[in-house]
Amino acid sequence: MYVAVKGGEAAIANAHKLLADRRRGDRTVPALRIDQIVQQLGLAVDRAMGEGSLYDRELAALAIIQARGDLIEAIFLVRAYRTTLPRFGYSNPIETEKMRIERRISATYKDLPGGQLLGPTFDYTHRLLDPALAEGQDIPAPETRPGDESVAPRVMDLLAGEGLVEPDRHNDEQEINGFQREIGDLTREPLQFPLERDLRLQALARGDEGFLLALGYSTQRGYARSHPFAAEIRIGEVEVELDVPELGFAVSPGRIQVTECQMVNQFKGSAKAPPQFTRSYGLVFGQAERKAMAMALCDRALRARELGEDITAAAQDEEFVISHSDNVQATGFVEHLKLPHYVDFQAELDLVRRMRAEHAAQAADQSYPEAAE
Amino acid sequence: MSFAPIYNFAYLDEQTKRMIRRAILKAIAIPGYQVPFASREMPMPFGWGTGGVQVTAAIIGPEDVLKVIDQGADDTTNAVSIRAFFAKVAKVATTTHTAEAKIIQTRHRIPEKTLGEGQVLVYQVPIPEPLRFLEPRETETRKMHALQEYGLMHVKLYEDIAKHGRIATTYAYPVKVEGRYVMDPSPTPKFDNPKMHMSEALQLFGAGREKRIYAVPPHTAVVSLDFEDHPFEIQHFIEPCALCAATGVYLDEVILDDHGGHMFVCSDTDNCEERRDAGHRGKLAGHSLEAAE
């Protein structure tokens, strides 16, 4: 009986024991190790880190194993751990211009300072299942060359030199309605609509890849079309720096891998802004190109209010997009429908029964004259 | 690396608790007003009581006795899970007896036994905004509350009467608190609404996913919205509880077979057990529910 009036405790304990058993599977098959997941399912790990908002490959890998490969469950595990961590401070903005680049492409220029670097990409592979992988064949070492110490300038900065692109904001403070305001933190302060771009980008960075992908796609198909060009996508490692007040200078706790996507969008001008190229931005932990691109498309669509564009499509609707982009929240609320609701259902049952009885009585009354005819 | 995280008393770190307590104090100061707070991810899913859990975690002390109910019962799976959570991370004493509890966390019910001074009832709230299904935008509903512009809600209730001959809201029935804010009582059946009025207990409401906390302080007027010619009324059950013969309590319908056989039993399991211990017997008493299966 589902309505366990007694015995819920034992049932829960037994269910979790069974879960652990199913997670482990056939005991003759070797158990997965954290390092195997980190090394060989790196993109799953990156997604769990990105949407889990915690840069820790081992913990993300542990979460993936614990979640039996269910990435949203893994993201949830990472978030629930992250929320207990003390906050020491905020890092300085990372300088993606100084990135140690592994991949960098531009769709707007054929060649550019720093060059195009394909890096480890699925692009141009033929999606043919590879039986050799199943046999655990030895993989030859990749081609390498000495690292390029020169800085690859960001494509947007090259464009901005001509004044064709709207200027970028620089400081870690931003001016809003003439007031300087610190950059927000949606994990520490409650989100209150309408948002500024800083909080929107934070929400998008942890937003569900599938949801943002679909919304970004919808803008390409004409629901708030934004005429995007992928000015630059770069993936690589950047230094994280933290100002320590006691020391008086910045220290680096380490490097992180990020994917950055900068798009330019044609803009015909509005009452608020002149014709120019506008910017949109995506930045995600690890290698997550699809997510970074989808994020940039959504970012641009959500700038409609700021740029004085008509808000006509779902992707431009800030409350709609940001309220529903978090998959940990979404999955919790959708799945809570599994919880018992019999008290509410009882109330509705009672109402429907009474209304049906009245309906039947009314129908009987109305049919009476006809029967008499 | 270490995989053995150590958690603070009642799970949340002290800074977070302080933030939540500030929100609670503000909520108590403005009865029925939804205070935004920086809700955290909890180790149970959003929508499963994270708001209530955060409120409880922020107010609970080592000496407190906790009761957790879901659908009125102490033994429903989610109530078991939340009770076990606090027993583990706060090592507090737990109880199923309403009178013994200092803090009662609840989903969808208010206990039948009248709550007294010093008790705190913590509600788990899925959608804190009573106007949400009339106006989906937060920016709009906030304005409506600020201007006390509740006409839309009255129009909805009026349309119910015009269409169905009665107000067709049976749970999460909107109330007005201390003559100011219209408030969602959480999805409790409207049967429980009168218990909120002038209660001696402190009532706190936590909505984790929606990041809102609100409160009804003790001795506060809580009035269910209605019309003069269609006064608010609660559900009435024709049969008494099949186990303890109680009347004037909220009953659950339990299906006994596939030929339409059913019985009605108390939703508040603690109240039902106490009555049976005191010798009250319903028509199916003597058979446990499991036997009735």
pLDDT of residue B159: 93
**B128 near B210, Cβ under 8 Å?**
yes
A371 pLDDT higher than 60: no
pTM for the model stands at 0.89
Which chain B residues are Cβ-neighbours of A76 within 8 angstroms?
A: 41, 45
Query: Which of A155-159, A258-262, A305-309 is the least confident region?
Result: A155-159
| pLDDT class of B180 with cuts at 50, 70, 90 | very high
pLDDT in tens, A218-232: 999 999 988 899 999
- The residue whose two tokens read 């996507």 is A261
Judge whether B12 is closer than 8 Å to chain A, CB to CB. Answer: yes
Catalytic residue among B49, B52, B244, B282: B244
A151 pLDDT higher than 80: no
Strands (E), A116-227: 173-176, 179-182
Q: How many CB atoms lie within 10 A of CB A305?
A: 14
Q: State the average pLDDT over residues A335-356.
A: 90
- Hey, what are B173's tokens? 């029935």
pLDDT, mean over chain A: 89
Q: Kindly give the interhelix angle for B77-89 and B50-59, rounded to the nearest 10 degrees.
A: 30
B199 pLDDT higher than 70: yes
Helix (H) or strand (E) holding B216: strand B212-216
**If you count them, how many residues does chain A have?**
373
The proportion of chain A whose per-residue pLDDT surpasses 90, expressed as a percent, equals 61
A348 vs B290: CB contact, 8 Å cut-off?
Answer: no
pLDDT of residue A2: 36
pLDDT of residue A179: 56
- In this structure, what DSSP letter does residue A227 have? -
Judge whether B171 is closer than 8 Å to chain A, CB to CB. Answer: yes
Task: State the amino acid at position A114 in one-letter form.
Answer: G
Task: State the amino acid at position A212 in one-letter form.
Answer: L
Q: Calculate how close chain B gets to A193, using CA atoms only, in Å.
A: 6
Nearest CA in chain A to B269: A5
A174 pLDDT higher than 90: no
Q: State the average pLDDT over residues B247-271.
A: 91
Q: State the average pLDDT over residues B246-258.
A: 92
Please name the member of B12, B46, B171 whose beta carbon is closest to the beta carbon of A329.
B46
Kindly indicate whether the ipTM for this predicted assembly is greater than 0.85, answering yes or no: no
Nearest CA in chain A to B108: A343
Buried b (16+ CB within 10 A) or exposed e, B99-108: eebbbbbbbb
pLDDT in tens, A249-295: 999 999 999 999 999 998 877 887 778 889 999 999 999 999 999 99
| pLDDT class of B293 with cuts at 50, 70, 90 | very low
User: A191 vs B220, which has greater pLDDT?
Assistant: B220
pLDDT of residue A350: 87
Active site residue B286: no
CA distance A197 to A209: 19
Q: CA of A32: how far to CAs of A19, A40, A69, A226, A330, in Å?
A: 16, 11, 11, 44, 29
**B198 near B219, Cβ under 8 Å?**
yes
- Hey, what are A365's tokens? 């009354």
A343 vs B71: CB contact, 8 Å cut-off?
Answer: yes
| pLDDT class of A368 with cuts at 50, 70, 90 | low
A83 vs B77: CB contact, 8 Å cut-off?
Answer: no
pLDDT of residue A11: 87
pLDDT of residue A296: 98
A5 vs B37: CB contact, 8 Å cut-off?
Answer: no
User: B118 vs A136, which has greater pLDDT?
Assistant: B118
pLDDT of residue B1: 45
pLDDT in tens, A76-100: 999 999 988 888 889 999 999 999 9
Q: Calculate how close chain B gets to A335, using CA atoms only, in Å.
A: 8
| Range picked from A275-284, B196-205, B247-256 for highest mean pLDDT | B196-205
| pLDDT class of B285 with cuts at 50, 70, 90 | confident
A341 vs B108: CB contact, 8 Å cut-off?
Answer: yes
| pLDDT class of B286 with cuts at 50, 70, 90 | low
Catalytic residue among B51, B208, B272, B282: B272
| pLDDT class of B90 with cuts at 50, 70, 90 | very high
Which chain B residues are Cβ-neighbours of A332 within 8 angstroms?
A: 45-48, 50, 209
Query: Which of A40-49, A272-281, A333-342, B214-223 is the least confident region?
Result: A272-281
Q: Calculate how close chain B gets to A24, using CA atoms only, in Å.
A: 19
CA distance A114 to B228: 77
| pLDDT class of A299 with cuts at 50, 70, 90 | very high
Which chain B residues are Cβ-neighbours of A1 within 8 angstroms?
A: 289-290, 293
A192 vs B46: CB contact, 8 Å cut-off?
Answer: no
Q: State the average pLDDT over residues A128-135.
A: 89
| pLDDT class of A300 with cuts at 50, 70, 90 | very high
- Strand partners for B207: B212
CA distance A56 to A373: 82
pLDDT in tens, A30-77: 999 999 999 999 999 999 999 999 999 999 999 999 999 999 999 999
Q: Output the CA angle A36-A38-A39, nearest 5 degrees.
A: 65
CA distance B48 to B46: 5
- The residue whose two tokens read 């003597």 is B286
Nearest CA in chain A to B12: A84
Q: How many CB atoms lie within 10 A of CB B193?
A: 22
Q: 3-state class of B100 per DSSP?
A: helix
pLDDT of residue A4: 40
- Strand partners for A104: A117, A234
Q: Strand order of the sheet with strand A276-285?
A: A100-105, A228-244, A249-267, A276-285
Please name the member of B37, B78, B190 whose beta carbon is closest to the beta carbon of A190.
B37
